[in-house]
Amino acid sequence: MKKKKPIIFLCGARDFHAMDWYKSAKELINDREVSIVTDLITGEGFIKLINNDDIVYKLLILDNLLFKKQSSLGNLWRNILKLIVLPLQVALLRNFSKKKPDAIYHAHSMYYLWLAWLAGIPFIGTPQGSDILIKPFKSKFFKFLSAKAMRAALALTVDSKNMQEKAESISGIKPFIIQNGIDLASIEKLNSITNIKNKRDIPILSIRGFTELYRIKELIKARNKNIEFTKNITPITFIYPFYEQAYKIEINLELTDKDNDLGRVDSDSMYKLMLKTQLVISIPISDSSPRSVYESIFCGAAVAVVKNNYLSLLPECMLKRIIIIDLNNNNWLEQAHAKAKEIIQQPYIPSEQALEMFDQRKSFLKIVKLFSK
């Protein structure tokens, strides 16, 4: 029987999205090696996501060369550093690939698509939202390299129609749309264990990055400036996968002692919070297909969002948990919270369409088909 090709995830090993795909692969694929090649494990205050059970091959690990905390300057330095060492990483990856000549690589985020293309290895590419929707329009250099890398991929996957159209306009290649899946089994298990039913005692939960892009400042101002809404201050709980230090320091001055800043949490902790939340907030300037919004819905919360193209693809059962807000309305937060209290009176029951679109395991099986081809 012919031995099947190893699958190697080429990514930052601190990237939640990439690591979730990797964990799905480990769970669902047992007839070949599934491993990681990476240049980042921790650094900048990120927690370690890999463990001793994972097969991890290292390029030049940059963790100790990065800043201790996340910041705009730290982001700039990381990007400069990764460009400086790019030729070395390409050489290391090319040398490594000779030891695994039959492997297929799954490159997550555009930098790793660059690496795979320049190293001449066979790969499937999955860019992030900003790799397609923002960065190519800020830098001609980024756009040029990204177009080359996307054309070199065996296949491309993105998570929204918007990304598909922009990627095709940049590279001429039309990616497959495969949603970032949700760990529905874990949500169901936690819901069963906690047995909280409709006991939702977290009024407002902010789930996106603590940076200007995600408009955390606008959320705080909306809560603080509405006198009627803040007579009895409504606390906000914050979780976020990353933050910008200067922005966070500025906003911390506007928080109250009732607010709860939990920082970066693991997925189980996040689901437990979502299962207890009334209203989740997700109002970024730009968005692709936000998995954390979908996770919130499957956890039964209502979600306040700004109008976006990804909403047109959602099943009706999910749209019923969505509250589209207008940030120019001074009372948007108060009104959204009142609407959320109505929505959560009914439990969320996903349709077959929703389960097919967003089950993490089903999503990864679509990726497996691409590997098979």
What's the pLDDT at 231?
64
Residues 6+ apart with CB under 8 A from 196: 275, 276
Q: Is 209 exposed, middle or buried (0-12, 13-18, 19+ CB in 10 A)?
A: middle
Which pLDDT belongs to residue 1? 47
Please tell me the distance from the alpha carbon of residue 359 to that of residue 47, in angstroms, as a whole number. Answer: 26
Nearest to 357 by CA among 320, 324, 318: 318
Give me the mean pLDDT over the 229-256 stretch: 87
Q: What is the rounded average pLDDT of the residues 109-124?
A: 97
- Per-residue pLDDT tens over the stretch 196-215: 555 899 999 999 999 999 99
The answer, yes or no, to whether residue 69 has pLDDT greater than 90, is no
Q: Give the tens place of pLDDT for each residue, 317-351.
A: 999 999 999 999 989 999 999 999 999 999 999 99
More confident residue, 352 or 193: 352
Distances (CA, A) of 192 to 15, 29, 294: 28, 27, 19
How large is the average pLDDT for residues 260-289? Answer: 92
> Helices (H), strands (E): how many in the chain?
16, 13
pLDDT at 207: 96
- In this prediction, residue 373 carries a pLDDT of 67
**Does the pLDDT value for residue 103 go beyond 90?**
yes
Gap between the Cα atoms of 265 and 283, Å rounded: 20
Whole-number pLDDT of residue 194: 62
Check whether 195 has a pLDDT greater than 60.
Answer: no
Q: Is the pLDDT of residue 179 over 90?
A: no
Give the pLDDT mean for 152-156: 95
Split at pLDDT 50, 70, 90, the class of 2 is low
φ, ψ of residue 255 to 5 degrees: the values are -80, 160
Question: Does the pLDDT at position 228 exceed 60?
Answer: no
- Predicted confidence at residue 29, as pLDDT, reads 87
The model carries a pTM of 0.83
